[in-house]
Amino acid sequence: MEFLAKNNLIKGGSLDNAIVLVERNDVTEEELDRLAKMLGKDKLKVNYDGIGVLNSLKLQFENEPARHKLLDIVGDLALVGRFIKGHILAARPGHSGNTRFAKVLKEEIKKQEKAPRSFDLEGEPLYNINDIERMLPHRYPFLLVDKIMEITEDKIVGVKNVTMNEPMFQGHFPGNPVFPGVLQIEATAQCGGIFALSKVEDPHLYSTYFMKIDNVKFKQKVIPGDTLVFELTLISPIRRGLVHMQGNAYVNGKHVMEAEMLAQVIKDKVEA
């Protein structure tokens, strides 16, 4: 500290905003007086209660500086903007190194988000087309989900195989067949409907109805021969039949469409 003060450094530092540790137990009064003069203090003393600390300050914890560094790391890595599940080891960390590491993490997250998604479509489907027909009221040419591969507490993965035999390609568009965006949304919604109906008894007695669609984006056109994979995740728990989900569609792992959807499940049939 004496070296720093002599070289006109640590101008913003003082004993009011910094902890000065004393590593020796034989500091003389002469040394303390000389340092006090440099720092503009009348008197300095060393508190030897545990680890040596300059002046009358008493640490709350003996490893308080290490705790301070730990909080610095937590705060700096919060700049990543994501929860981090990991074990971080740091040797002599500082804000500069912490924030550079945060930038590296953020760039890696961006790369992973842009990387193609991987879905296992080879296994036995959870629901085949016959199962789906028993759940949804939709029929040709408006049944737009071929199979369901996965359902969890908050997520569903469904598949739609796009073929040239479908009637919309006669007019959309001749010589340039493109699977309409509105049907991509409808297919995604049907997956969401299957998810909702899988949570009730006697799903054939219920129907799902659109209430709202937000933040729709189409990122790449879908054409005959493509296999659309839909992944929907609950945004909030299902309450009063309201199902709020984030839907994403992929072709060959590439993100082609996204939308936020709100629907309601209503019991509209009574068994005889």
Catalytic residues: 95, 172
∠ at Cα 85 (80, 88), nearest 5°?
Answer: 80
What torsion, rounded to 10 degrees, do the Cα atoms 85, 245, 195, 140 define?
Answer: -140
DSSP state of 117: P
Residue 230 near residue 117, CB atoms below 8 Å: no
Angle between the 64-77 and 95-114 helix axes, to the nearest 10 degrees? 30
CA 179 remoteness from chain centre: 30
DSSP state of 183: H
Q: Is the dihedral of CA 129, 133, 136, 138 positive or negative?
A: positive
Tokens of 195: 């998810």
Q: How far apart are CA 259 and CA 184, in angstroms?
A: 10
Q: How far apart are CA 136 and CA 144, in angstroms?
A: 11
The residues near 49 (Cβ < 8 Å, ≥ 6 apart) are 58
Q: How far apart are CA 52 and CA 225, in angstroms?
A: 74
E strands of the chain, at which residues? 21-22, 46-47, 52-54, 147-151, 155-161, 206-218, 227-234, 242-251, 254-267
